[in-house]
Amino acid sequence: MATPRGRRRLATLTIFLLAAVTLLAIGGPVRRAGATLAHAIVSPFVSVVRGVTKPIGDAFAGAFNYADVVAQNHVLARELAQLRMEQAENAYEHQQLHDVLALERLPFLSSIPVATAQLTAQNLSDFQATIQIDKGSSAGVLVGMPVVGGAGLVGLVTATTSGGATVTLLTDATSSVGVSFGNGHYDAVLHGQGPGRDLAMDFVAPGTPVHVNELVYTDGLQGGLFPAGIPVGRIAVYNSRRGATQLSVSLQPLARLDNLDYVDVVLWEPGS
């Protein structure tokens, strides 16, 4: 219940409001004076009302603006995703073109004919490393033919059909390649150790001069599986163990065996 003081304040406020309204109704100078007085009386109430309603209006306006911003962000995100996809496609096409052009400039093949093929599948496990290509016996591809990439030897054809072939990569555990190094003065044999692993180079006698980053090539010995002079890889690590009958040498393939798109099948048969 309101106290006597509260009731007096309410009555006084009511009188002031009535007076303000009356003055607004009177014309001339009295009206101007009344308006001034009325403004002075009413303005605190107006300020309070504005203070209460403005945040609510701002909140509604902000909600509508936020929805617009979210919609614009979704549009921009879709456009950015589209641009990234186009860039990836362009990069892939550029890499394919680079690989094909690289295969057309293989100085180590001299005049030996080749059949350019595209990869259709890749089969990798702990020790197995093979790929499938889209050229087979109908294109002159036969079992035992070498396969090269733009940088060097990739592997050997080990199975064919009329329209495709299986290539066993250098890193396959069953792979074996006769090589030479030291300007052709020394011979060795490379063995695969599984996908992603370096090749092991065997039969390198202790004391043989070996250098890190030295290039190793196919030796082309009579009856060998590969023609001479195809680059295979670079020596990565070597060491000599006391009492060992050979040096321990590891070699990294030059060809990007984990990222092949096109390869050349060398139309060359062993012993030819």
Give the pLDDT confidence of 67-79 residue by residue, as tens digits: 777 777 777 776 7
* In the predicted structure, residue 132 carries a pLDDT above the cut 60: yes
> What mean pLDDT comes out for the span 140-167?
94
Contact 128, 172 (CB under 8 A): yes
Structure-token pair, residue 21: 């309204």
More confident residue, 175 or 226: 175
Contact 153, 167 (CB under 8 A): no
End-to-end C-alpha distance for the chain, whole angstroms: 118
Q: Scan for tokens 């093949």, then name that residue.
A: 109
E-assigned strands of 173-222? 176-181, 186-191, 199-202, 215-218
Q: Scan for tokens 């990007």, then name that residue.
A: 256
The predicted pLDDT at position 264 comes to 92
Contact 169, 121 (CB under 8 A): no
* DSSP structural state of residue 193: -
3-class SS of residue 124: strand
The predicted pLDDT at position 33 comes to 46
> What mean pLDDT comes out for the span 9-32?
51
- What is the residue-averaged pLDDT of the chain? 77
Residue 181 phi, psi (nearest 5): -150, 180
Residue type, 189: V
* In the predicted structure, residue 179 carries a pLDDT above the cut 70: yes
- Among 26-30, 54-58, 143-147, 226-230, the least confident range: 26-30
0.85 exceeded by the pTM? no
| Residues linked to residue 189 through DSSP beta bridges, in sequence order | 178, 202
Structure-token pair, residue 65: 């603006």
Residue 89 has, within 13 A of its CA and on its CB side, a CA count of 6
In the chain, ranges of CATH 2.40.10.340 domains = 113-266
- Using one digit for the tens of pLDDT, what is the confidence trace for 256-272? 898 889 999 999 877 66
* DSSP structural state of residue 245: S
Q: Quick one: CA dihedral 152, 156, 159, 162, positive or negative?
A: positive
Q: What is the CATH number of domain 113-266?
A: 2.40.10.340
d(CA 131, CA 139): 17
Which long-range contacts link 96-99 to residues 24+ away (Cβ below 8 Å)?
96/261, 96/262, 98/150, 99/149, 99/150, 99/260, 99/261, 99/262
